[in-house]
Amino acid sequence: DTGVSQDPRHKITKRGQNVTFRCDPISEHNRLYWYRQTLGQGPEFLTYFQNEAQLEKSRLLSDRFSAERPKGSFSTLEIQRTEQGDSAMYLCASSIDENTGELFFGEGSRLTVL
Amino acid sequence: GENVEQHPSTLSVQEGDSAVIKCTYSDSASNYFPWYKQELGKGPQLIIDIRSNVGEKKDQRIAVTLNKTAKHFSLHITETQPEDSAVYFCAAPLPGTGRRALTFGSGTRLQVQP
């Protein structure tokens, strides 16, 4: 399978715990995006990497959220001290380096905070 | 997303009929308008896109039209089939990110009745 893969697919945690999601983009794609999607809404932009550099971060993103892409390949998204409002689907997407173009999404990691 | 408004939120049609979904955007400098289809349990997938230098683009049963003056664009699906049932999202470049990221509409759930 050469698509975008995300792990885990589903995470259930208690409020206050930390969680980490991993994304493996399509190998030749150097742009990587994290989005969040809640029920009945469209994906909401969180952050964007070009290679290992984090170039954009939503101003709405809490400082409890941090993302890394240390070698310009896979990426991790960590949420510290989770809150019930963090419950959502976290989507990763990748694209080839161009100004705008097709985003290839993974199937997402669903977070449930109890 | 705050920069893209999408209507209707739900749409039910009979198999073989046409379906039209409309979006408006606020950033007059936007130049790229994709449409994504999301099936249950999967990430969104690009189905068609249009750039601002053209007014219409077709791909088999799917077409997108763009009115830059009015700042709206529409998705047209003709001869609908049950497998067209899904949630459809319009998107536009997200201002403030150098247009590297997309902002999505809230989605239209299309149900094609056999």
Residue of A45, A89, A97 for testing the chain B interface, max B β-carbons within 10 Å: A45
Distance of CA A94 to the CA centre of its chain: 10
- What integer pLDDT is reported at residue B98 of this predicted model? 66
Half-sphere exposure of A81 (CA within 13 A, CB side): 3
Nearest-CA distance B84 → chain A (Å):
18
Tokens 């209707």: give the residue. B8
Residues in chain A closer than 8 A to B45 (CB atoms): 105
Residue A66 sits at the vertex; the CA angle it makes with A106 and A51, to the nearest 5 degrees, is 60
Asked if pLDDT for residue A69 goes beyond 70, the answer is yes
Q: What are phi and psi of B2, to 5 degrees?
A: -70, -15
Give the CB-side neighbour count of residue A23, counting CA atoms within 13 A: 32
Find tokens 């399978």 and name the residue. A1
Token representation of residue B66:
């763009």
Closest CA to B80 of B65, B62, B107: B62
Pick from B29, B32, B23, B8: which is nearest to B90 by CA?
B23
Find the closest chain B residue to A56 by CA distance.
B97
Sign, CA dihedral A54-A55-A57-A58, equals negative
CA dist A55 and A75 (Å) reads: 14
Return the half-sphere exposure (C-beta side, CA atoms, 13 A cut-off) of residue A54: 14
Query: B62-107: per-residue pLDDT in tens?
Result: 999 999 999 999 999 999 999 999 999 999 988 877 667 899 999 9
Mutate to test the interface with A, among B31, B40, B59, B104 (most CBs of A within 10 A): B104
Question: Which of B52, B97, B99, B108 to probe by mutation at the A interface, max A CB count within 10 Å?
Answer: B97
What pLDDT, on a 0 to 100 scale, did the predictor assign at position A99?
Answer: 59
Q: Which of residues 33-62 of B touch A (CB under 8 A)?
A: 34, 36, 41-46, 49
Structure token pair of residue B68: 């830059």
**Cβ–Cβ gap A91/B44 under 8 Å:** yes
**pLDDT per position as a tens digit, A38-54:** 999 999 999 999 999 99
Least CB-CB distance to B46: which of A41, A99, A102?
Answer: A102
Bridge partners (DSSP) listed for residue B100? none
Residue A76's closest CA among A61, A89, A84, A65?
A65
| DSSP string computed for A27-70 | TT--EEEEEEE-TTS--EEEEEEETTEEEEE-TT--TTEEEE-T
> B30-69, pLDDT tens digit by residue?
889 999 999 999 999 999 999 888 899 999 999 999 999 9
